[in-house]
């Protein structure tokens, strides 16, 4: 803490913790059904992300008849998606399944991408792992979108077997429809 003597009788103490003040931004309107909707898969380019996302879509398609599935890849997992990519996704899709939040930087960027798409009216299911639930909560608070509920799968994702990928995909298939429909 930083202290400053203001006069001989008092000391001014600065609290470095600060306060985060944000206005709550609502999530996008939720659809009534998922069948026939176009879904974007936003891959963060991290190890195994594509495998988990493709397995997740295959698991989801057992119960949902998407109108179209479109694949997109970010240039870096530790950066937010480029504004042009976010605009392209929002112009050509009704739903989003975002990249994997399996580490500190990719988790916050995954949530920030989902928030950017939600602000444009696209319901987004952002996948994170169990190790980063608290960070996700803090990111949502700092950004001001508490209503964005993540899809939480087992940690890790970066170094898993095909059998473990299938387990993660089943977790996504259970949670993502509830997030998209607002039933979470």
Q: Is 149 contained in some domain?
A: yes
Q: Is 28 contained in some domain?
A: no
Q: Is 5 contained in some domain?
A: no
Q: Is 111 contained in some domain?
A: yes
Report yes or no: 101 and 136 within 8 Å, Cβ to Cβ.
yes
Report yes or no: 52 and 97 within 8 Å, Cβ to Cβ.
no
pLDDT digits (tens, 9 = 90+) for 95-132: 999 988 787 778 889 999 999 999 999 999 999 999 99
pTM given for the model? 0.87
Rounded-to-integer distance, Cα 87 and Cα 37, Å: 18
pLDDT digits (tens, 9 = 90+) for 65-96: 999 999 999 988 889 999 999 999 999 999 99
Q: Is 153 contained in some domain?
A: yes
Overall domain count for the chain: 1
Q: Is 41 contained in some domain?
A: yes
pLDDT digits (tens, 9 = 90+) for 4-38: 555 667 777 767 777 767 789 999 999 999 999 99
Task: State which residues form the domain around 55.
Answer: 33-181
Alpha-carbon dihedral of residues 114, 162, 175, 155, nearest 10 degrees? -70
């Amino acid at each position: 803490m930083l202290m400053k003597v203001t006069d001989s009788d008092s000391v001014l103490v600065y609290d470095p913790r600060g306060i985060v003040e944000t206005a709550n931004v609502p999530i996008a309107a939720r659809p009534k059904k998922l069948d026939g909707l176009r879904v974007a898969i936003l891959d963060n380019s991290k190890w195994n992300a594509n495998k988990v996302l493709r397995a997740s879509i295959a698991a989801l398609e057992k119960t949902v008849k998407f109108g179209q599935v479109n694949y997109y890849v970010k240039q870096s997992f530790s950066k937010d998606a480029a504004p042009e990519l976010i605009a392209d996704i929002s112009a050509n899709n009704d739903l989003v399944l975002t990249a994997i939040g399996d580490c500190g930087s990719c988790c916050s960027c995954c949530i920030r991408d989902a928030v950017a798409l939600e602000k444009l009216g696209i319901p987004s299911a952002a996948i994170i792992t169990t190790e980063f639930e608290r960070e996700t909560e803090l990111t949502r608070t700092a950004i001001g979108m508490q209503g964005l509920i993540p899809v939480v799968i087992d940690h890790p994702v970066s170094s898993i077997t095909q059998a473990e990928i299938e387990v993660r995909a089943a977790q996504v298939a259970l949670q993502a429809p509830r997030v998209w429909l607002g039933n979470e």
